[in-house]
Amino acid sequence: MKYAVIRTGGKQYRVAEGDEIEVDKLESEKGKVVTFDEVLLFVDGDKVKVGQPLVKGVKVKAKVVDQLKGKKIRVATYKAKARYRRVKGFRSRLTKVKIEKIV
C-alpha cells in the first residue's frame, strides 16, 4: 500500500491515492489541481522514507472538489459577578480535496 503524510495549514494528514480529505481553506478554485510539497513521510509497500524534516522528490497532487464551511463551534464568554455573558459562533472555512497521485 502506498501512502504519505503531508503538512498543510499547520496540520498533518495521512493520505493515499483516491482519498478525500478536508483541509484548511486553500486559495484555489473548484476543479483546479493543487500540489502539496511538504511531505513528511512516504511509504510504498516495504519501503519507508522519513523526511528530516521533508522527503525530497515526493509530491502529492490533489484536485479541489469543493469549498465549504465546517461545523459550527459555539464560544461562550462571561465575567464573574458582572452579569456579562456573550455567545459567539464560528465556522471554519474548509477545502475538500481528492488525492489523485503521489509522485
* 3-state DSSP of the chain: CEEEEEEECCEEEEEECCCEEEEECCCCCCCCEEEECCEEEEEECCEEEECCCCCCCCCEEEEEEEEEEEEEEEEEEEECCCCEEEEEEEEEEEEEEEEEEEC
Predicted pLDDT at 8: 96
Point out the residues of the chain with pLDDT beneath 50.
Answer: none
Predicted pLDDT at 77: 97
Predicted pLDDT at 102: 95
Domain ranges of the chain: 2-68+94-102
